[in-house]
Amino acid sequence: MYYLKHILPFLLLLLAASTLSGQSKRITELERKAESQSGTELIQTRLTLANLYYDKKEYAKALDNAKKAQELAQDANRRDDVRKALLVQGKIMQQIAALQKEPTATENNGAVASAPESILHNTTTAPREDTDRRRMEQAIAGISKEKASIEKALLDKEKEIAAMSDEQARLELLYSRQRNLLDSLSIRTLRDSIELTLSEAKTQEQAALLALERNRRNLLLAIAAVILLIAGGLYTRYKGVTRYNALLTQKNELILAEQARSEELLLNILPAAIASELKKTGVAQARQYEQATVLFTDFKGFSKIANGMTADKLVADLDYCYGEFDKIIEKHGLEKIKTIGDSYMCAGGLPESDTDHAVRMVKAALDIQKFLTRWNIERIESGYPALEARIGIHTGPLVAGVVGSKKFAYDIWGDTVNIASRVESAGEAGRVNVSENTFRLIKDRFNCSFRGELPVKNLKPVAMYFVED
């Protein structure tokens, strides 16, 4: 109790000092920010500084910041901030006026400073001291009662002595003195016993407090150890999970990259719809198309041209040429089927049926001839022979599907394919030759010229038309 009585005021002082230190740090930080601020931010900062200085009782600085905030708010035409600044100034002026009426600041400060200590002293030590005081008062009250009874007995004896003889009085007096001495010793012994009991109670109380404090400290240490163990376990698990997630992410990225690569390779081989069906079911069903358009190209005199070129140059030229063909076919929404040597084959109206495949195929054929015209000019200027292509187009029914289990390919079959090949062979280099079936579908979009009929084995002759640019 003694230590608690003297330590609590010191703790309160430390708490007040900490609060003031925190306010000072915040004021310093806001003053530094105010140097680089402007506009609304600077107004709010000045108002905050005014309130903080007011709380610290530095009324001159508080008033200065409030006036600066008012001036900034007036310049910015912010009426709400002007009103706030004026309210803060009024609060500060009222406090200054109140201080001027008080006798001295030190008396007030002393009264304020002494109040917490007295309150704390009363709240912390009063219950325990009241208990001890009550116990002492009860013991002293008992002694007082006993003393009063003794005094009453002595008065009664004195009356009896007055009526006795001298000898009897002397004996009675001696007896009374002995009784008084015994009573005195009894009272002293009782008082010592009470003091000893109180001392033992205080000792036991202090021992209990020490044991409680020791148990509390041990409990806190145990809790801290458990928290450290849990934190260590959680950190270890976090690191492990982080490493696992990083490794899993890396593997997933590799899998996705390989999957994208596989998708790209598959789409380079098969149409998108066929590739999707193959992935879902493992097989791609062959389909019958009532009407599709097939295109063949072939280079005039390619064997002779190839004999005069190196293998590397020949393959490079074909790769470049077919690459440009692919771009044109993709642009018009057609499907490349395959290349056979110097022959290029594509189709329209599959794998998804549509109605304008013949028109789009003719447009693609004209674009191919335009590309070859431009490219041949560059080849001739570079000293290489021109590559002129015949293009044949026919429209009719066919079957399309995937063949093979290894290195499988998307292909088409039927008389329509054979007739398109014959129409190409009967064409002329640099021109687009179409069958009568195709002509009926495009005659409203392109100018065409009739050029006769083509005999086809096991079939009736096929009428042909040149598409004019």
pLDDT digits (tens, 9 = 90+) for 318-327: 999 999 999 9
- Structural domain including 16 reads 2-101
**CATH code, domain carrying 450:** 3.30.70.1230
Weakest-pLDDT range from 161-170, 211-220, 222-231, 429-438: 161-170
Q: Where is pLDDT greater, at 271 or 84?
A: 84
Exposure on the CB side of residue 65, measured as CA atoms within 13 A: 24
Total count of domains within the chain = 2
Q: Where is pLDDT greater, at 60 or 18?
A: 60
Maximum mean pLDDT: which of 11-15, 111-115, 309-313 = 309-313
DSSP state of 458: T
**CA pair distance 424, 428, nearest whole angstrom:** 8
**CA pair distance 21, 374, nearest whole angstrom:** 85
Q: What is the percent of the chain with per-residue pLDDT over 90, rounded to a whole number? A: 24
- What separation, in Å, do the N-terminal and C-terminal C-alpha atoms of the chain show? 114
pLDDT reading at 403 higher than 80: no
pLDDT of res. 463: 92
Radius of gyration of the chain (CA): 57
Q: Is residue 241 part of a domain?
A: no
Structure tokens at 163: 């009526």
Structure tokens at 349: 């109206």
pLDDT of res. 279: 63
**CA pair distance 452, 439, nearest whole angstrom:** 13
pTM, 2 dp? 0.46
Reference 368, options 398, 393, 394; nearest CA is: 393
Q: Is residue 245 part of a domain?
A: no
Do 282 and 370 form a contact (C-beta atoms < 8 A)? no
**CA pair distance 194, 200, nearest whole angstrom:** 10
Question: Of 101, 123, 144, which residue constitutes the final position of a domain?
Answer: 101
**CA pair distance 392, 431, nearest whole angstrom:** 9
Q: Is residue 66 part of a domain?
A: yes
Reference 49, options 67, 71, 25, 66; nearest CA is: 66
Reference 357, options 312, 412, 304; nearest CA is: 412
Q: Is residue 370 part of a domain?
A: yes
E-state strands within 259-408: 287-299, 335-340, 343-348, 389-403
Report the chain's mean pLDDT, rounded to a whole number: 79
**CA pair distance 281, 278, nearest whole angstrom:** 6
What is the arithmetic mean of pLDDT over 222-244? 88
Q: Is residue 275 part of a domain?
A: no
* CA distance readout (Å), 41 to 35, 47, 73, 154, 256: 11, 10, 11, 92, 50
What is the arithmetic mean of pLDDT over 241-268? 72
Q: How many residues does the chain have?
A: 469
Reference 465, options 371, 358, 337, 346; nearest CA is: 358
Q: Is residue 430 part of a domain?
A: yes
pLDDT reading at 442 higher than 60: yes
pLDDT of res. 113: 39
CB proximity list for 72: less than 8 A, separation 6 or greater: 42, 43, 46, 81
Q: Is residue 171 part of a domain?
A: no
Reference 87, options 47, 29, 142, 44; nearest CA is: 47
Return the number of other C-beta atoms located less than 10 Å from residue 281's C-beta: 9
Peptide bond into 351 cis (omega under 30): yes
Question: Of 84, 101, 118, which residue constitutes the final position of a domain?
Answer: 101
Structure tokens at 321: 């040429």
Do 346 and 338 form a contact (C-beta atoms < 8 A)? no
Return the number of other C-beta atoms located less than 10 Å from residue 247's C-beta: 10
**CA pair distance 92, 60, nearest whole angstrom:** 9
pLDDT reading at 233 higher than 80: yes
pLDDT reading at 175 higher than 70: no
**CATH code, domain carrying 12:** 1.25.40
Structure tokens at 4: 């608690």
* CA distance readout (Å), 362 to 101, 369, 395: 106, 11, 11
pLDDT of res. 397: 93
CB proximity list for 37: less than 8 A, separation 6 or greater: 45
**CA pair distance 69, 414, nearest whole angstrom:** 91
pLDDT digits (tens, 9 = 90+) for 246-256: 888 887 877 77
pLDDT reading at 354 higher than 50: yes
* Collapsed DSSP state (helix, strand, coil) of residue 153: helix
Question: Of 70, 101, 132, which residue constitutes the final position of a domain?
Answer: 101
* Collapsed DSSP state (helix, strand, coil) of residue 37: coil
pLDDT of res. 118: 40
What is the arithmetic mean of pLDDT over 277-301? 81
What is the arithmetic mean of pLDDT over 30-43? 86
pLDDT of res. 137: 64
pLDDT digits (tens, 9 = 90+) for 101-140: 765 444 444 443 344 444 334 444 445 556 656 665 665 5
DSSP state of 190: H
**CA pair distance 298, 57, nearest whole angstrom:** 100
What is the arithmetic mean of pLDDT over 66-93? 87
Q: Is residue 131 part of a domain?
A: no
**What residue has token string 């398109």?**
420
